[in-house]
Amino acid sequence: MHLNSSIMSRALLTIGSNTFAKTNIDKAKRMLTFLFPNIIFSDPILSEPDDDRYSYLFRNILAVVDTDMPPEEIINKIKQTERAVGRTPRDKYVGKMVIDIDLVKYGDAILRPKDYEREYVQHLLGTMDLPEEEVTIPQPDTDEIDAQAGVSAEIDTDMLDVQDVQADQEASDLPDPDEVEPAETEA
């Protein structure tokens, strides 16, 4: 049986910026809220860059969302959001990060262990008041149920046709062909 369900998984995103950080993070939050209406954001925190090419502090937040999107689709959506906010491939090389959004955890899978273990991530996770994860009970695919009902209806109809033929034979004055003895032929 195929299941037509949207099994929800909890996704954890990290969002950071070191260039017009408040403005760019606010833009990203608005766009992500459009994509994920039930998204929850943490308070912001400042952190030191962990790479020598960045000389300015980062403003960081976390976002948590329960979604039925697979990880690949989430990553695609957040990369589109980064570009829409103004991130370019060149930014990293000049030491600025207009916006950086990463899918760090999906369900029970930690996709970016180094990011997940960062001090600010663990600190912000501890401050977030998150609802219990949604549990979705898979529902059978209605098309499959309809198809199975059609098969069983055909079987029932075929059974009725056989019963009708048998009833017609019994009601008929003609003997059943299986019960007729062959006529003796004269030699």
Q: What is the per-residue pLDDT for 130?
A: 83
In this structure, what token pair is assigned to residue 96?
């600025």
pTM score, whole prediction: 0.68
SS3 114: helix
SS3 133: coil
Domain boundaries, given as residue ranges, for the chain:
9-127, 141-173
Q: What is the 3-state secondary structure (H, E, C) of 12-24?
A: EEEEEECCCHHHH
Condensed to tens digits (0 to 9), the pLDDT of residues 129-156 reads 887 765 544 455 555 545 454 444 444 4
Q: DSSP state, 11?
A: E
Q: Which residues pair with 102 in a beta bridge?
A: 14
Secondary structure (DSSP) of 17-43: ESSSHHHHHHHHHHHHHHH-TT-EEPP
Under CATH, what is the fold of the domain 9-127?
Alpha-Beta Plaits (3.30.70)
Query: Quick check: 157 pLDDT over 50?
Result: no
Condensed to tens digits (0 to 9), the pLDDT of residues 61-102 reads 999 999 999 999 999 999 999 999 999 999 888 889 999 999
Query: Quick check: 40 pLDDT over 50?
Result: yes
How far apart, in whole angstroms, are the C-alpha atoms of residue 142 and residue 144? Answer: 5
